[in-house]
């Protein structure tokens, strides 16, 4: 049942509150272990996703060397 979140697994197995809380804690700890080993670049609160994406886009736009332009191709590429 590794593809399920802790909440979904708790509901699917009709687990008690104590088991569901342990599942949630195990899921959270697994995220931090992955982050410690650079499995993730960073952990963000889901409510901050929009701001994180906008910040990354702004950093990407400011790091371009030249403005994006269409490329003219005069040969047939295989």
**pLDDT per residue over 17-50, tens digit each?**
888 788 888 888 887 877 777 766 677 888 999 9
The answer to the question of residue 11 being in a domain is yes
The answer to the question of residue 48 being in a domain is yes
The answer to the question of residue 76 being in a domain is no
The answer to the question of residue 19 being in a domain is yes
- What is the pLDDT at residue 40? 60
pLDDT range class, residue 64, cuts 50, 70, 90: low
- What is the pLDDT at residue 2? 58
The answer to the question of residue 50 being in a domain is yes
Q: Give me the residue label for tokens 């104590």.
A: 18
Domain limits for position 44 = 6-54
The answer to the question of residue 46 being in a domain is yes
The whole-angstrom separation of Cα 20 and Cα 4 is 13
The answer to the question of residue 39 being in a domain is yes
3-state secondary structure of 27: helix
Residue 52 has pLDDT above 80, yes or no: yes
In the chain, how many domains are there? Answer: 1
Q: What is the pTM of this model?
A: 0.38
b/e burial code for range 18-52 (CB count within 10 A of at least 16 → b): eebeebeeeeeeeeeeeeeeeeeeeeeeeeeeeee
């Amino acid at each position: 049942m590794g593809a399920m979140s802790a909440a979904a697994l708790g509901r699917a197995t009709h687990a008690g509150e104590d088991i569901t809380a342990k599942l949630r804690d195990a899921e959270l700890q697994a995220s931090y272990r992955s982050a410690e080993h650079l499995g993730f670049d960073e952990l963000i609160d889901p409510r901050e996703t929009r701001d994180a994406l906008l910040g990354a886009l702004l950093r990407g736009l400011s790091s371009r060397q030249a403005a994006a332009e269409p490329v003219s191709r005069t040969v047939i590429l295989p």
